[in-house]
């Protein structure tokens, strides 16, 4: 029995030896490279300092940032750790003032529906009018006026809308009866308008303004959770690809947090900034013809401004610097002898069976011999197998 087991194991060994081959190349997904705090800081051109805001509880710090600032990183100075942050974009209405009765009336556009401007009845038995003059900081493109009245206030009878340009006036709407709080008129682009309401009941206007269809100003804000008594540095304008930054768990910036909105701190040039060199080949990314692959020689045989290291000359989907056979397609990257040269272009194989072609036939012959021995030991009786000269016992 032991002989059978040994022969079987030897057979398996030979079978494994002569049938081994690499069948496919595996695709590996690399984890992001984590840089030190100092290396991350070197990636940004600018920074802003946010000193202790005298907070009593952790609060969201919110301040405007430029669209050109690019990606950002928030560093807590005391712990020397990067903090989660969020960038939001908010639509901002074009600022304007409303003059009523010869004076600006802030209640008409303060965003608070509980405040209002009141226009009493000067003529109790006849028609009254309220004239409002709008002045926008820049021209708005509009075709609609919206207003909110105080509680239980009746709609005015009618309204007129006039476009004001220097010393000229142009009626956009003349005495249109009102049926709701939205008034439409021919499209106009101007900075100043006059609105006249005609009414017979006391009038209270809470909010009023023109709908700007020409687009509103967009403002970008950065938010992060600041802790009481701590100071922060906000880095921006990365010099290249944004580095991977590990931060602590982020809270929900949308719900329940106190928000401290501050003016944008002044931007300061980062003295530690270094031009990005992702592949660490000594060539800055802005000048590197192959930014993500090490190629200090910057070879470019075909002079197409893309380094040879990151091209794919044989069109097999594997770039030259990673291809074990760059001049001949071999998508699976087989390399049976593991010598770094792909099978498709390896003229000298290092496997034993490649250098000694007769070995497979020796193996086949040895395999037949092993099978024969197994068959012989299995068919012959144990006594005959142990002493072939001894005659078999007579049958009883």
169 or 2, greater pLDDT: 169
- Same domain assignment for residues 262 and 223: yes
CA-based end-to-end distance of the chain: 29
Cα 208 off chain centre by = 39
Averaged pLDDT for residues 271-275? 90
- Same domain assignment for residues 186 and 250: no
- Which one of 247, 269, 291 terminates a domain? 269
pLDDT above 90 covers a percentage of the chain that reads: 43
Averaged pLDDT for residues 142-147? 95
Give the structural domain span for 265: 37-91+218-269
10 Å Cβ neighbour count for 235? 25
Name beta bridge partners: 144. 184
10 Å Cβ neighbour count for 307? 26
pLDDT for the residue 273: 93
- Same domain assignment for residues 69 and 145: no
- Same domain assignment for residues 120 and 83: no
SS3 for 168? strand
pLDDT for the residue 119: 92
Asked if residue 4 is part of any domain, the answer here is: no
Is the predicted pLDDT of residue 24 greater than 70, yes or no? no
Name beta bridge partners: 268. 47
- Same domain assignment for residues 111 and 141: yes
User: Do residues 150 and 206 touch, judged by C-beta distance below 8 A?
Assistant: yes
305 or 43, greater pLDDT: 43
Asked if residue 43 is part of any domain, the answer here is: yes
CATH number of the domain bearing residue 198: 2.60.120.260
Is the predicted pLDDT of residue 19 greater than 50, yes or no? no
Asked if residue 28 is part of any domain, the answer here is: no
156 or 258, greater pLDDT: 156
Is the predicted pLDDT of residue 214 greater than 90, yes or no? no
Averaged pLDDT for residues 158-179? 94
22-31, 90-99, 295-304 — which is least confidently predicted? 22-31
Is the predicted pLDDT of residue 20 greater than 50, yes or no? no
| Distance from C-alpha of 144 to C-alpha of 305, rounded to nearest angstrom | 54
CATH number of the domain bearing residue 238: 2.60.40
SS percent in the chain: helix, strand, coil, step 5 = 15, 35, 50
pLDDT category at 130 given cuts 50, 70, 90 is very high
- Which one of 195, 215, 235 terminates a domain? 215
Give the total number of structural domains in the chain: 2
- Same domain assignment for residues 156 and 234: no
pLDDT for the residue 231: 97
pLDDT for the residue 394: 57
Helix axes 359-379 and 2-19, enclosed angle (nearest 10): 160
Asked if residue 192 is part of any domain, the answer here is: yes
Is the predicted pLDDT of residue 337 greater than 80, yes or no? no
Is the predicted pLDDT of residue 374 greater than 50, yes or no? yes
355 or 116, greater pLDDT: 116
Is the predicted pLDDT of residue 129 greater than 50, yes or no? yes
Is the predicted pLDDT of residue 388 greater than 60, yes or no? no
- Same domain assignment for residues 103 and 209: yes
For 49, residues 6+ apart whose C-beta sits below 8 A from its C-beta are 231, 232, 233, 265, 268
> Average per-residue pLDDT in the chain?
82
- Same domain assignment for residues 105 and 182: yes
- Same domain assignment for residues 264 and 232: yes
Is the predicted pLDDT of residue 390 greater than 90, yes or no? no
| Distance from C-alpha of 222 to C-alpha of 65, rounded to nearest angstrom | 7
25 or 364, greater pLDDT: 364
Closest Cα partner for 222 from 73, 49, 43?
A: 73
Sheet hosting strand 217-226, strand order edge to edge: 85-92, 217-226, 59-65, 259-261
- Same domain assignment for residues 55 and 164: no
Is the predicted pLDDT of residue 23 greater than 50, yes or no? no
125 or 25, greater pLDDT: 125
Is the predicted pLDDT of residue 10 greater than 60, yes or no? no
DSSP 225: E
Closest Cα partner for 114 from 181, 210, 207?
A: 207
pLDDT for the residue 50: 96
128-142, 259-273, 284-298 — which is least confidently predicted? 284-298
Q: Each residue of 53-87: pLDDT tens digit?
A: 999 999 999 999 988 788 999 999 999 999 999 99
Q: Each residue of 276-333: pLDDT tens digit?
A: 777 778 787 777 788 778 888 888 888 887 877 887 777 777 888 787 887 778 888 8
Q: Where are the beta strands (DSSP E) in the chain?
A: 44-50, 59-65, 72-76, 81-83, 85-92, 96-100, 103-104, 117-119, 128-149, 158-165, 168-177, 182-199, 203-212, 217-226, 232-238, 259-261, 268-269
Is the predicted pLDDT of residue 189 greater than 70, yes or no? yes
Is the predicted pLDDT of residue 386 greater than 90, yes or no? no
């Amino acid at each position: 029995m032991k002989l059978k087991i040994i022969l079987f194991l030897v057979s398996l060994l030979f079978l494994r030896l002569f049938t081994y081959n690499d069948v496919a190349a595996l695709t590996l997904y690399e984890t992001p490279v984590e840089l030190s705090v100092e290396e991350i800081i070197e990636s940004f051109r600018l920074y802003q300092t946010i000193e202790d805001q005298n907070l009593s509880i952790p609060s969201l710090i919110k301040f405007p940032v430029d669209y050109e600032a690019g990606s950002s990183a928030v560093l807590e100075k005391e712990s020397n750790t990067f903090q989660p942050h969020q960038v939001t974009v908010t639509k901002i209405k074009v600022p304007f003032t409303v003059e009523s009765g010869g004076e600006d009336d802030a209640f008409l556009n303060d965003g608070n529906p509980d405040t209002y401007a009141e226009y009493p009845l000067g003529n109790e038995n006849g028609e009254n009018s309220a004239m409002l003059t709008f002045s926008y900081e820049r021209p708005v493109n509009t075709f609609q006026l919206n207003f909110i009245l105080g509680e239980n206030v009746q709609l005015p009878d009618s309204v007129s809308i006039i476009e004001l340009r220097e010393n000229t006036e142009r009626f956009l709407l003349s005495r249109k009866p009102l049926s709701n709080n939205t008034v439409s008129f021919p499209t106009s682009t101007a900075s100043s308008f006059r609105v006249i309401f005609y009414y017979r009941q006391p009038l209270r206007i809470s909010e009023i303004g023109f709908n700007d269809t020409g687009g509103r100003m967009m403002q970008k804000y950065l938010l992060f959770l600041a802790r009481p008594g701590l100071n922060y540095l906000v880095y921006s304008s990365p010099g290249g690809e944004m580095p991977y930054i590990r931060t602590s768990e982020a809270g929900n910036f949308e719900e329940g947090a106190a928000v401290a909105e501050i003016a944008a701190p002044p931007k300061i040039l980062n003295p530690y900034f270094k031009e990005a060199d992702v592949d660490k080949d000594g060539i800055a990314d802005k000048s590197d013809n192959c930014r993500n692959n090490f190629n200090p020689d910057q070879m470019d045989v075909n002079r197409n401004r893309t380094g040879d290291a990151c091209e794919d000359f044989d069109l097999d989907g594997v770039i030259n610097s990673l291809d074990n056979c760059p001049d001949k397609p071999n998508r699976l990257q087989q390399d049976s002898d593991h010598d770094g040269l792909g099978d498709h272009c390896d003229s000298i194989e290092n496997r034993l069976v490649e250098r000694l072609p007769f070995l497979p036939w020796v193996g086949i012959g040895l395999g037949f011999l092993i099978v024969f021995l197994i068959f012989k030991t299995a068919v012959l009786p144990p006594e005959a197998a142990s002493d072939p000269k001894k005659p078999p016992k007579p049958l009883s």
